[in-house]
Amino acid sequence: MSLFQIIFMIGQILILTLILIHNAPIMAWVERRGAALMQNRLGPNRIGPLGLFQSAADGIKFIFKEDQIPGHVSKFYYVLAPLVSLVPSFLTFAVIPYGSQIDLGGGQILKFQIADLNVGILFTLAIASLGVYGIIMSGWASNSKYAMMGSLRSSSQMISYELSMGLSLVGILMVFSSVKLGDIAAAQGQTLLQLGPIALPKWGIFIQPLGFLIFMTSVFAETNRLPFDLPEGESEIVAGYHLEYGSMKFAILQMAEYNNMLTGSGLLATLYFGGWQMLFPLGQIYSHLALSGMTADWVRVAFEIGSFTVKVLFFMWFFVWVRWTLPRFRYDQLMDLGWKVMLPLSLVNLFITAVMISYGVI
């Protein structure tokens, strides 16, 4: 590894960490404005342009609030829990590629992905399921029945939906025969169907529509977002697992949730929407520019990062959009959906994919 590559890697890590840190306040603003607009209100629009500095004000408030630890909690685990849920939420984003690579010559390759691990998507799944420990810990250490109920709900929900999530992923892994996210994203650049001038790319959603639906639903359940936000069902169990938390510790729990959303969006974009493959007008513009040499590479990567960002932002918005459209599930309905619908459907999806691959359709 040359010095330039090391500096590039450190810069990448720093930038992505900054993005992940700022994701939570910005998404909080998007969520509040989005909710307000969908409910025919205006939402926070006073501070700064369009109310954008509202989240900064919220952040300042969180930092300056008294950091109180209630007397009845188990102190060590109570303090540890937000960190345990925050760290996995940062780690999972490491394997998601947000651009292809640049060959500098002489065997030097710049990868726009923090860690191109051999286990790829399996790493994300493994680390993401660590996040549930933070939630269980926070609920249990709080020594409060509502927090306890919330964390119990969360753990059973996450375990139930991890099954269908993993099984729906197997379909994608079979089609692209790789678990490395970089390979999966690169493979989605091929053309699936040529309809006159329109080329349908080999995106995951066109090959695995059922798998996409199951995976998306599971991601909603895994990130505890509505319609599956029973762990924090405020009408039944006050605020669920973060009931006893205040000030920055509460903000960290929220941050972990929003980071999980970002990782979920990144996975959805990478696995089913072509990852960094360029979106419709950008690819045509790039081939029109007819650049060469180093500039061509950097422009290509810039376009790819732009496309990936648009896809991820769409899914982030989709999380908010669904939240303010669908009502919350009842707990037994959630479990029914997970075990009686999602699990059999993902097995059916797996079977269909296997048959289609063995007959050479895809």
Partner 1 sequence: MLVKQKKSILSELYVLEIFKGLCITMKNMLFAKKVTIQYPEERRKYSERFRGQHYIKATNGVENCTACMLCPTVCPAECIHIEAGERPDKEKYPVKFEIDALRCCFCGMCEEACPKDAIKLSNIYEMSMTRREVWDKDFLLEQRGNK
Tell whether residue 41 is a contact of partner 1 (CB under 8 A): yes
Minimum distance of partner 1 from residue 362's CB (angstroms):
22
Tell whether residue 313 is a contact of partner 1 (CB under 8 A): no
Tell whether residue 118 is a contact of partner 1 (CB under 8 A): no
Between residues 44 and 264, which has the closer beta carbon with respect to partner 1? 44
Instruction: Select the residue interacting with partner 1 from 60, 109, 193, 326 (CB under 8 A).
Output: 326
Tell whether residue 37 is a contact of partner 1 (CB under 8 A): yes
Minimum distance of partner 1 from residue 116's CB (angstroms):
35
Residues 6+ apart with CB under 8 A from 40: none
Return the range that interacts with partner 1 (CB under 8 A); candidates 71-79, 144-152, 167-175, 323-331: 323-331
Residues 141 and 149: beta-carbon distance below 8 Å: no
Tell whether residue 38 is a contact of partner 1 (CB under 8 A): yes
Return the range that interacts with partner 1 (CB under 8 A); candidates 18-26, 155-163, 240-248, 321-329: 321-329
Dist. CA 318–CA 243, nearest whole Å? 27
**Residues near partner 1 (CB under 8 A), total:** 14
Instruction: Select the residue interacting with partner 1 from 19, 115, 170, 213 (CB under 8 A).
Output: 213
Tell whether residue 292 is a contact of partner 1 (CB under 8 A): no
Return the range that interacts with partner 1 (CB under 8 A); candidates 34-42, 119-127, 133-141, 231-239: 34-42
Between residues 152 and 216, which has the closer beta carbon with respect to partner 1? 216
Between residues 41 and 340, which has the closer beta carbon with respect to partner 1? 41
Return the range that interacts with partner 1 (CB under 8 A); candidates 32-40, 49-57, 187-195, 230-238: 32-40
Which residue, 208, 192, 88, 207, is CA-closest to 136? 88
Tell whether residue 331 is a contact of partner 1 (CB under 8 A): no
Minimum distance of partner 1 from residue 49's CB (angstroms):
16
Instruction: Select the residue interacting with partner 1 from 325, 330, 340, 344 (CB under 8 A).
Output: 325
Residues 6+ apart with CB under 8 A from 291: 299
Tell whether residue 321 is a contact of partner 1 (CB under 8 A): yes
- Stated length of the chain: 362
Dist. CA 340–CA 266, nearest whole Å? 28
Tell whether residue 338 is a contact of partner 1 (CB under 8 A): no
Minimum distance of partner 1 from residue 294's CB (angstroms):
42
Residues forming contacts to partner 1 in the complex (CB under 8 A) are: 34, 36-42, 213, 321-322, 324-326
